[in-house]
Amino acid sequence: MKVNVIGHNYELCNFENKELTGQTLQFIQKEPSSETPLTLVTISDGTTNEEVLEVLIDRMKYLNDCFPCRENAIVITKLEESLMWLNKRTSDRVKRNVEGKHIV
């Protein structure tokens, strides 16, 4: 993995042919607006942690169907738990009316 933009853009290595350019993983990048500092504006569109976790959960479920083992089941549980906590964080921010704003 190579970090192109800390926290937002990564170049992922190919597993078998490391000489080839890998895939880019771009997360949404938002920063406070210069006009209204509490408002966030999108600098670069991209995906979210939640979306990546959903991909990993789907992949691990597929792999566990092919090659079932205890470790795969634990990984799935922990990924699902991580997704649950991120969704809870978002839900709490929505309830507090601070989602999408530069407020802790």
pLDDT at 104: 66
- The letter for the amino acid at 64 is N
Confidence label for 103 from pLDDT (cuts 50, 70 and 90): confident
First to last CA, the chain: 30
Give the helix/strand (H/E) hosting 51: helix 49-66
Confidence label for 77 from pLDDT (cuts 50, 70 and 90): very high
Tell me the pLDDT tens digit for each residue of 1-60: 999 999 999 999 999 988 888 899 999 999 998 898 889 999 999 999 999 999 999 999
Mean pLDDT of 68-97: 97
Question: Quick one: tokens of 71?
Answer: 């470790």
| Axis-axis angle for helices 49-66, 70-95 (nearest 10) | 160
Strand-pairing partners, residue 95, are none
pLDDT above 70: residue 75: yes
